[in-house]
Each structure stands twice: as C-alpha cells, then as structure tokens.
C-alpha cells in the first residue's frame, strides 16, 4: 500500500510539474528591451491582484478585474507596413501551464479584449489579444487605408501570434506545448481565418457564432436597416410581446418540451398574419403594413431575377423578439420615440468606409443585390473566411469546435451550418473526426437568451470574480475551451457539452441544464425525469434534409 501511495504521489507531482512553470528568476521588466522584427514593446510590468484596464478612444469605461493571479503584462505595437499600428497585449502568468491562448475581438474591434484574457489567465494560459490594427469603434479608420483593412482582416491576429510566441519562449526559457485560439462573432471570423490561412499558428480553434461571411453579413444588416428605415409604423413593446407569445404558442412544444424555447426556429410555421388586426387597433395586433414588414424581416431576402437566397432572415429570433428586435431591427420605445438599430449602425459604418470610400453615402439608397456584389468583389478576399478547404487542419490532426445559438438574430445560425456543410462537401467526408459544430437552442449571439447559454462563452453569466475556482470550472464537459484542449491533447472528442441556464442569467441559481450535441445530432428528452436536467436527454441524429432545404452559406 505504501509503495502504491508513493507511486501515486510521484505521478501527481510529475503531472503538476509538467503543467505548471513558475518564473521566479526571469525579470518581467527586461522584456521591454526585447528586439522583435517590426515590433516595439512599450510596457512590461508585473501585476498581481486587481487590474484596471486603460481608457481607450471609444470612451468605454475602465474595466476592473479583481483577484487576478500574478502575471507579467506586456504591451506593444507591431508595424509591418508604414501605416500599420497593430496594438497587442500579452499576459504571462507566474504559474504557467505551457499553453498559449489568443482571444478574438468583436464588431469592428479597435480595443484589447481584456474580458477575454481573464479566464485564460486564471486557468494558467499565457494569453494575448490585439486591437486588430486601429483604436476606437466604427470603421472610419478604413477610409483610404488599405493596409489597415488588411490588418483588421487577418494580419493583426497572425502577427500577434508570432510575436507572442517569441516573447513566451524568452520569458519562460522554453517553447510552449500547445496553442489555441478562441473567439466569437468577429472573433469567430478571425478563428476560422486563422484555420484557413495560417493553420500552423494554432493546435485548435474555438469558433463562436462567426461573422466569417463578413460581406454577406453586412448585406444582411443592410436589408434589415432598409426595411426598418422604410417602416412607417415601428413595432411597439406590446406588439413585440404579442409576437413572442404567439410564436412560442405555435412552436415551443414541437420538441416535446415546454421550456420557453423554440428549438428549430427555421421549421416553425408561425406567420405574423396571425396577429393582424381584425378590427380596431388594440395596441397588440399588427397593421397590414406591419405584417408585411415582419414577413420581410423574418424571411430571406432574394435575388429578384433568380429568386435565390441573398441573405438569411431574422427568423432565428422567433420567440425572442422582445429581447432582440429593439437592438437589431429597431422599435417604438415606451417613451414614444423611435429607436435606432445596431443593424443601421453597422450599415452606416461598413458601406461608406469599407466598400465605397464615400463618408456621405446614404445606405438607404443602396441596391441590396448590387451592394452585396460590390462588397464581395472589393473587400471579400480580405474580410471573408469562407474557404472550405480545411484539409491541412485535418491532415495535421488539429481540431475545431464551433458553436452557435439557434436564437441568434445578429449572425443567423444559417451561416455556421452553411459553412460546416460546405467543408463536408469540399472534403467529401464527415467532419466530426476533426471539426464539430454545437448548436445551442434558445441562445442569442455569443450567449444570453432564454435557453441554456452558459458553457464558457464570451457572455457567460458565470462571474469571474475573486471567488472563481479555475480548476473546477475548467471542466471539458461544461467548458468549450476545456473540451477543445482535451480533444487536442488527449484525443477525446466531445460527444456533448452541457450548457446551463441561470435564473436572470445571474450565474448562481440554476434553472436547467441541457446537453448540446455535435451537429447534426440534437438533444432529445428520454421521456423520464425532469426536463430541466441534462442527464435526462440523449443526443440523437437529426434529419438533415430539413436543414439543407433552408440552410446554406451565402456568398
């Protein structure tokens, strides 16, 4: 027994020593003098405890991160071209697990993703983020600056990876064992861009709700914003509540479970005409013009000549209109004032500054079909990461885990499923030996929504405060990055990822858990036990023909 105990202790010590490297003899501040091609290190400082993020040009308030483990903070700039100014930060933990994690950005970037750095740091990763080559939000920076557009499209992420690895090897005096990238939204686009253009940079990628068909997504926003601008009667909060209630009444129970979530929104037969006013307006029914507008918003936009789908519709937000419609379509506020949507904001930024080079351009006057074609031909090669050739990733035995919320009205789920299917078609075989897609019913963009949405996504409601237990939270059954690490390093593919729904998304009071299954499988209740417990569900194969009728990558 003593020999067995000694052996177990010896093995445990070996595992701990191989996965934890403490730098007691290396000086963090000396890294400021490190010479790297086209790179200037502007700051190198030791940090422990609380960290206050610096102010940025967007006017965003400083973020406060409490109780962080000790780390070396490196701040720098990469200038590969005369007009390039790629900002980055690298955080090197005192207790290092020999892994590197780079986190993606969102929207038009323009800032370091500090919130994305913290979870990785707490779990022992050396972590890094880039501002993608510019400061502040919006896209005015792209006007007349083609190299800055390239930095944003793909160069900033790639060069940050190269610089970070060089600094890591210098600081720890050894090479890292594994490198990972994790991002959602534009960060998901960046993740797929890396897998397609620079598969040698990382061993694995977490891809969340990717804006990988970037020009197609901007056409989607343009369609929504043009419908919104032309609508004379914006929907009120009461009308949105009626839409949500009617859609749930029609389709919530189609999966056999009444949980306030529409599991398959693209197959929901709800028609807004059900709410058309039959007599006097009661504040909840819709006028004929509103019904027509809602139909146009829910449905795909189509090429008027061929009737082929041009952009997906907003139908994935069925049953979640109160939450998403005001943000992405616009509505009439309770104060009687019309709200402006984020779709309009993206349209006002992308088309004048990135495509047409005309700050005075009015997006309302653009022809959708022509604009989509112009964007694809002018900037698609820089911004879109839609190449289905992932043969190098597969041959190198690297792994991709992608996830997308079925209730995502920002980047409709069709984009993820369409790309996933395009890869299968190109490679002529099942993807699941190296690439798995997990669809999350009732989850909005990168998190949130009425369904189980917590599995360590960027908007995960679980707090990362001083009491955060890194070891218990880095669970490959419930944490998407941990699942990727186990797949890459141990060869154990994720058969499910358990997502949690908290009450009011407070990160404390569990409402239900539900398994997310590798596409095309879906979670089915066994008919026994609570429908709020993931243990009472099994992953079963979905009928893909329904998806193929409605889904496809828009290009």
Rounded Cα–Cα distance for residues 472 and 486 (Å)? 15
520 prior amide bond cis, ω within 30: yes
Residues 295, 298, 304, 309: is their CA dihedral positive or negative? negative
Rounded Cα–Cα distance for residues 418 and 438 (Å)? 13
Q: Determine which helix (DSSP H) or strand (DSSP E) holds 42, and give its type and residue range.
A: strand 39-52
CA atoms within 13 A on the CB side of 538: 6
Q: Which of 84, 161, 182, 185 is catalytic?
A: 185
The question of whether 509 is a catalytic residue gets the answer: no
Rounded Cα–Cα distance for residues 407 and 368 (Å)? 25
The question of whether 445 is a catalytic residue gets the answer: yes
The question of whether 307 is a catalytic residue gets the answer: no
3-state secondary structure of 281: coil
Q: Which of 131, 137, 300, 408 is catalytic?
A: 408
Per DSSP, the residues of 55-87 read P-TT-PPPPEEEEEEEEEEEEEEE-SSTT--EE
Task: Return the DSSP state at 183.
Answer: E
- The percent helix, strand, coil of the chain (3-state, each to 5) is 40, 20, 40
Q: Which of 331, 445, 505, 547 is catalytic?
A: 445
Q: Are 270 and 277 in contact (CB under 8 A)?
A: no
Residues 515, 480, 500, 269: is their CA dihedral positive or negative? negative
The residues that are catalytic are 185, 408, 445
């Amino acid at each position: 027994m003593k020999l067995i105990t000694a052996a177990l202790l010896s093995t445990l010590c070996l595992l701990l020593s191989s996965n934890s490297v403490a730098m007691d003899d290396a000086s963090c501040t000396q890294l400021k003098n490190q010479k790297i091609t086209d790179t200037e290190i502007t700051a190198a400082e030791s940090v422990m405890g609380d960290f206050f993020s610096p102010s940025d040009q967007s006017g965003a308030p400083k973020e406060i991160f409490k109780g962080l483990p000790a780390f070396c903070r490196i701040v720098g700039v990469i200038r590969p071209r005369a007009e390039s100014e790629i900002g980055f930060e690298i955080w090197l933990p005192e207790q290092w697990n020999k892994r590197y994690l780079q986190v993606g950005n969102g929207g038009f970037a323009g800032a370091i993703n500090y919130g994305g750095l913290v979870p990785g740091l707490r779990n022992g990763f050396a972590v890094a983020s880039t501002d993608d080559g510019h400061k502040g939000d919006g896209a005015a920076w792209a006007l007349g600056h083609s190299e800055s557009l390239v930095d944003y499209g793909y160069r900033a992420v790639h060069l940050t990876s190269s610089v970070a690895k060089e600094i890591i090897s210098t600081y720890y005096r050894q090479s890292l064992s594994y490198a990972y990238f994790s991002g959602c939204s534009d960060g998901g686009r960046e993740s797929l861009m890396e897998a397609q253009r620079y598969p040698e940079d990382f061993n694995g990628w977490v891809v969340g709700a990717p804006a990988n068909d970037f020009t197609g997504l901007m056409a989607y926003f343009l369609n929504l914003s043009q419908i919104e601008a032309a609508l004379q009667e914006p929907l009120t909060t009461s009308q949105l509540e009626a839409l949500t209630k009617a859609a749930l009444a029609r389709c919530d129970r189609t999966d056999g479970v009444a949980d306030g979530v529409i599991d398959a929104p693209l197959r929901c037969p709800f028609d807004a005409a059900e709410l058309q006013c039959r007599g006097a307006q009661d504040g909840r029914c819709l006028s004929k013009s509103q019904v027509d507008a809602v139909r146009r918003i829910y449905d795909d936009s189509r090429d008027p000549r061929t009737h082929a789908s041009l952009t997906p519709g907003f139908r994935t937000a069925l049953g979640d209109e109160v939450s998403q419609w005001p943000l992405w379509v616009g509505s009439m506020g309770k104060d009687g004032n019309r709200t402006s949507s984020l779709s309009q904001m993206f349209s006002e930024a992308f088309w004048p500054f990135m495509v047409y080079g005309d700050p005075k351009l009015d997006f309302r006057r653009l022809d959708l079909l022509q604009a989509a074609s112009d964007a694809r031909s002018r900037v698609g090669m820089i911004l879109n990461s839609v190449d289905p050739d992932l043969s190098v990733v597969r041959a190198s035995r690297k792994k991709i885990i992608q996830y997308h919320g079925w209730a995502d009205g920002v980047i409709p789920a069709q984009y993820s499923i369409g790309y996933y299917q395009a890869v299968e078609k190109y490679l002529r075989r099942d993807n699941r030996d190296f690439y798995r897609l997990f669809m999350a019913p009732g989850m909005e963009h990168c998190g949130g929504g009425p369904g189980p949405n917590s599995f360590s996504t960027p908007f995960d409601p679980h707090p990362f405060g001083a009491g955060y237990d890194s070891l218990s939270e880095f669970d490959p059954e419930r944490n998407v990055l941990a699942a990727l690490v186990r797949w890459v390093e141990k060869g154990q593919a994720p058969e499910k990822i358990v997502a949690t729904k908290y009450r009011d998304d407070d990160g404390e009071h569990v409402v239900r858990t539900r398994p997310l299954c590798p596409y095309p499988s879906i979670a089915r209740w066994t008919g026994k036990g609570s429908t709020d417990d993931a243990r009472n569900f099994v992953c079963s194969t979905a009928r893909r023909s329904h998806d193929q009728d409605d889904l496809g990558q828009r290009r």
